[in-house]
Amino acid sequence: MREIVLDTETTGINPADGHRIIEIGALELVNQTPTGERYHVYINPQRDIDAGAVEVHGLTAEFLADKPAFEEIADGFLEFVGTSQLIIHNAPFDMGFINSELDRLGRPTIPMDRATDTLTMARRKFPGAQANLNALCRRFEIDNSHRDLHGALVDADLLASVYIELLGGRQPDLSLEPSGLAPKESGPVRAEGAEAFTIRVDPTKFNRPHEASEAELVAHAELVDRLTDPVWRR
Provide the pLDDT for residue 47: 96
DSSP string, 30-48: ETTEEEEEEEEEE---SS-
Contacts of 15 (CB under 8 A, 6+ apart): 96, 97, 100, 101
- Reference 61, options 8, 101, 97, 11; nearest CA is 11
> Is residue 146 annotated as part of the catalytic site, yes or no?
no
Tell me the mean pLDDT in the region 164-187: 53
Question: Residues 89, 146, 150, 210: which is the catalytic one?
Answer: 150
Tell me the mean pLDDT in the region 1-30: 97
Is the pLDDT reported for residue 222 higher than 80?
A: no
Spatial distance between the Cα atoms of 140 and 18, rounded to a whole number of angstroms: 37
- How far is CA 68 from each of CA 21, 41, 88, 226, rounded to the nearest angstrom? 12, 9, 24, 82
Tell me the mean pLDDT in the region 135-155: 88
pLDDT band per the 50, 70, 90 thresholds, residue 190 = very low
Give the tens place of pLDDT for each residue, 37-86.
Answer: 999 999 999 999 999 999 999 999 999 999 999 999 999 999 999 999 99
Provide the pLDDT for residue 161: 96
Provide the pLDDT for residue 203: 43
Tell me the mean pLDDT in the region 194-203: 39
Provide the pLDDT for residue 227: 67
Is the pLDDT reported for residue 89 higher than 90?
A: yes
Provide the pLDDT for residue 211: 59
If one compares 107 and 149, the residue with the highest pLDDT of the two is: 107
Is the pLDDT reported for residue 173 higher than 60?
A: no
SS3 68: coil
Provide the pLDDT for residue 220: 65
Q: Percentage of residues in the chain with pLDDT exceeding 70? A: 74
Tell me the mean pLDDT in the region 113-131: 97
Tell me the mean pLDDT in the region 118-133: 97
Is the pLDDT reported for residue 163 higher than 70?
A: yes
Provide the pLDDT for residue 165: 96
Average pLDDT along the chain = 83
Is the pLDDT reported for residue 177 higher than 50?
A: no
Domain boundaries, the chain: 2-166, 188-233
Provide the pLDDT for residue 45: 98
Longest CA–CA span in the chain (Å) reads 89
- Reference 29, options 160, 171, 225; nearest CA is 160
CATH of domain 2-166: 3.30.420.10
Provide the pLDDT for residue 78: 98
